[in-house]
Amino acid sequence: MLNDLKRRLEQAFAEAESRQDGDNAQYIPALAEVDPNLFCACICTTDGTMITVGEDEPFTLQSMSKPFLYAEALACFGIEKVHQIVAVEPTGKPFDALIDVESGSKRPHNPMINAGAIAVAALFAEGSEREQVRRLDHLFSRYMGRKPITFDTRVYLNERDTAFGNRALAHLLNHFGMLRGGVEAALDFYFKACSLQLQCRDLAVMAGTLANGGRNPITGQKVLRGRYLRDTLTVTGTCGLYDYSGRFWFDVGVPAKSGVSGGIFAVVPGRMGIAVYSPRLDSNGNSVRGLSLLKSLSQSCRFHMFDLAPKYAAKPSTVTVKRPPRAASQVHEWALQRAFDIALCNRAGANSSFTPDLQHIASDSLAVSLCTVDGEEAHRGLSDQGFSLQAAATPLTYLMALERFGIDAVHRKIGVEPSGNPFHTVQLDPKTNQPHNPLNNAGAMTVADMLSSQDSAQRLHLLQDGLKRLCGRGLCDIDLPALAAERTAGDRNRAIACLLKKFGLIDHLEAALEFYFLQNSVRTNTATLARMAATLAAGGRNPFTQTQVVQAQHVAPVLTVMSTCGMHDGSGQFAYDVGLPAKSAVSGAIIAVAPGRMGLAVYAPPIDPYGTSERGKTLLATLARDLGLRIFTSPIQEPDDPEPRPWL
């Protein structure tokens, strides 16, 4: 097994080494002068085995320090205090964006961008410079498993003398009251953390510590508790590569963090930490060879978080075996009832005002359904109550497009990045003039155009047939009043469609709009929607017909974009609170997937400003916690809010 892993690493290394594109970071003189051909990769497995390929030269940590600063801040100061000064949302913008603070709270969007990292660094920046160095040594040496840590003095001085953008960010944060301890102290601590010197081996051990449940695989020391590890991996997964985070999550599928020195570390939970160093950077500030190696290694080792094929993807069955639903286990029944009761107490939110027919629905409605990959079902509330699918249809039609045209064809027209914008924003990605992702309105309409035909009856048949294959049985009719309301209140969507037509992304404007309005108007219920989610959870195999209704290789992309883009400008917070791939709808519906385990569906009309059911979020967060469904869950159960530990 070890020899096989080494062989795969060497193959990925050889492929990546042929890449000659990219340039060293130019704005830090010491980095600009580094030999651009340096290249090293290292793996540290959770049992402490080390595999290294290439020449292991020292480099500086740079932005790869950010996840560890954030993790230690959570552990030392507590979750509430840290999140008073930094949020957890992807931005869709470069790492050094000057005005990257939330419009309401004025917090930096997340701790992986420069603004957020400076705010976090300020928490540690009290005391003398000597005390700061001791603090950094204590913090990072435990993750690296060696003492003492060292700094590249020239890089530190370069950063201190040339980083006027970071100074601007620090003063802006100070203006908004987000900086504790003063501008200069915060910046100095941040610059020192970025100029920490290490080798690929050290970085692999640090990543291996995160992969090993917070325990250093070399020293055996418990460095980070489960809750803080979970939160760190979540934010690193959604925000670690800045405006390339969605693409990396889509292609590689594990939490990772890059630095402008040319380093990248990746965490494969429960298996290994991976470190790569090569100074040639792309336009996003990520190592060209590092990205290439990690993508190749993910494909050959199949460590993408949503690659369900090894366990669940069977060859398409020629025989349909129909079986009735089975009663859920007592644990599932208990957890569902508890989550239902807690969600009933949430009175926040209001009915959607986006379409007239949604404003008059009874706001006290609440229904939830659970369907496991083995066909067990449980329900609470009016699980047979009908509602319009709205945007909860978008991952399902995206899957239909992947099945019909393939991943490459679909993503020639659509990206995979979170945009940081509301779902109905009349805007495309300024870099590509394409929709940011397939789950916002622009992306969904582009998919609708690919699936639509000139014949309205064929459009309806294609949509209903695709949904019925996913659910196996249940309600998938068209709600004609909802369809009429979509057409009547569709001016914003027509504006988006016209923009797509301008850039040649859709061919048939009216047909695309009609298909999009049809999918939004599908009438279903939570029982049916949970069955569709269970098919996704089982890698495309329907729990009731026992047939492979869609290819497993197409399920992983759907779950990936659901996890990063499913709640639009609230996706990061949902990933942090709930930790499941999910998609919300302004009708109050949410479809959620616990990969390999179950599908979930909630219907509760009062929604938040992002268009997501308030009760639905509460219910899913409770279920995910009680049943251990989160994609990043500590192997050791620990209190949700452990006491902060002392710090130096």
Give the chain's residues under pLDDT 50: 310-319, 359, 635-637, 639-641, 647-648
State the Cα–Cα distance between residues 467 and 525, nearest whole angstrom: 13
Q: What is the pLDDT of residue 91?
A: 74
Of the candidates 593, 237, 602, 245, the one whose C-alpha atom is nearest the C-alpha of residue 437 is 245
300 a catalytic residue = no
- Nearest CA among 613, 533, 601 for reference residue 570: 613
| Residue of 70, 156, 242, 398 marked catalytic | 242
Determine contact, residues 564/583, Cβ cutoff 8 Å.
no
In angstroms, what CA-CA distances link 278 with 7, 228, 234, 261, 268? 20, 30, 25, 8, 20
426 is catalytic: no
Who contacts 6 (Cβ-Cβ below 8 Å, separation ≥6)? 51, 53
In terms of Cβ atoms closer than 10 Å to its own Cβ (0-12, 13-18, 19+), residue 220 is: exposed
Strands 326-327 and 376-381: parallel
Predicted pLDDT at 61: 97
Q: Which of 34, 66, 101, 228 is catalytic?
A: 66
Buried b (16+ CB within 10 A) or exposed e, 320-333: eeeeebeebeeebb
Catalytic residue among 156, 190, 244, 398: 190
pLDDT given at position 310: 46
Q: Is 190 a catalytic residue?
A: yes
Q: Which two tokens stand for residue 645?
A: 């530990």
Specify the pairing of strand 272-277 against strand 376-381: unpaired
Name the maximum alpha-carbon separation found in the chain. Answer: 74
C-beta of residue 102 within 8 angstroms of C-beta of residue 178:
no
Instruction: Bin 143: left if φ > 0, else alpha if -120 < ψ < 50, else beta.
Output: alpha
- Give pLDDT, residue 364: 73
Q: What is the pLDDT of residue 438?
A: 96
Q: Which residue in the list 63, 287, 521, 634 is annotated as catalytic? A: 63
66 is catalytic: yes
What are residue 368's phi and psi, to 5 degrees? -145, 140
Helix or strand or coil: residue 603?
strand
User: What is the distance between the alpha carbons of residues 125 and 455, in angstroms, rounded to a whole number?
Assistant: 65
Give the helix ranges, DSSP H, for 521-595: 526-537, 552-565, 571-577
- Beta-carbon contacts of 424 under 8 Å, excluding residues fewer than 6 positions away, are 354, 440, 441, 492, 493, 496
Q: Which two tokens stand for residue 8?
A: 């795969």
Please choose, from the candidates 308, 526, 516, the residue with its C-alpha nearest in 3D space to the C-alpha of residue 397. 516
Question: What is the per-residue pLDDT for 636?
Answer: 43
Residue 140 makes CB contacts below 8 A (sequence gap 6+) with 61, 65, 68, 149, 193, 196, 206
pTM metric for this prediction? 0.90
Its sign, for the CA torsion 610, 577, 240, 118, is positive
First and final C-alpha spacing in the chain: 41
Give DSSP secondary structure letters for 128-141: -HHHHHHHHHHHHH
Other CB atoms within 10 A of residue 175 CB: 11
312 is catalytic: no
- Residue 262's nearest CA partner among 279, 275, 248, 276 is 279
The Cα–Cα gap between 7 and 315 comes to 29
CA angle in degrees (0–180, nearest 5) for 538-622-229: 80
Structural domains in the chain, sorted by start: 2-301 (3.40.710.10), 326-627 (3.40.710.10)
Active-site residue (options: 260, 447, 549, 550): 260
Helix ranges (DSSP H) in 46-128: 66-77, 79-82, 114-124
